[in-house]
Amino acid sequence: MVSLDAMHACAKAYDMMHISYAHEVQVSMLCGLLFDKLHFLFPTYTEQERCMLTCAGLLHDVGTSRGVKGHHKASYELILSEGKKNQNFGLSDESLEIVALIARYHRKASPSMKHVAYAMLTPQSQDQVRKLSALLRIADGLDYMHDAAISDLTCNREGTEIRCRCIGNNSSSIMNNMARAMMKAEPFMEEFQQKIYFTI
């Protein structure tokens, strides 16, 4: 069974400036919403993939404890090392590796066969990392302002376009978050061959 308590404790422990944990909780929630609302894009995915995505969302910024520069790579390392100290947070070795890689790819370079850890995965696991990290990037963008402005989403597909309505109570902040999400959406659009737009 996945140990969410241990993951929350880990996220809190590495929140040196007391700003990243609340953001990580919000991003994890948004990851779950995106997974549920866009499930038609990956219908074979189950609660297992959803769990790996939300766990990655909760831990994606632990690397900021080592500085902002390169924190995505530091997050990957810390998730693995802290996982080993905590019975893998209840995950299998492979699932922990996938969670760490999803977090690693929440910014900067997309998954690549040039990256040893990614290349060593099975094709199925590589698919999971590509798809789920693309969702995490958008979720991260949707809380760019770190203010939990978005409380819900609705997503509809029209041909090769997806329109996601962002629901919340601070339209100015939501607009900024949506703009950032669009900036981070390219891997999603490449992976799923769908254009995505955000509205209020």
Whether 18 shows a pLDDT value over 90: the answer reads: no
pTM of the predicted structure, to 2 decimals: 0.97
Among the listed residues 35, 37, 57, the one whose alpha carbon sits nearest the alpha carbon of residue 102: 57
Both tokens of 118, joined, read 């990614």
Whether 102 shows a pLDDT value over 80: the answer reads: yes
Q: How far apart are CA 171 and CA 180, in angstroms?
A: 14
> Are residues 78 and 14 in contact, defined by beta-carbon separation less than 8 angstroms?
yes
For 31-58, how does the pLDDT look when each residue is reduced to its tens digit (9 = 90+)?
999 999 999 999 999 999 999 999 999 9
The torsion of the CA quartet 183, 43, 124, 48, rounded to 10 degrees, works out to: 90
What pLDDT was estimated at residue 67? 85
What pLDDT was estimated at residue 78? 96
SS3 state of residue 77: helix
What pLDDT was estimated at residue 3? 82
Q: Chain-wide mean pLDDT for the chain? A: 95
Q: Does an H or E element contain 94, and which?
A: helix 93-104
Whether 118 shows a pLDDT value over 80: the answer reads: yes
Structural domains of the chain in order of their starting residue, each with its CATH number: 4-146 (1.10.3210.10)
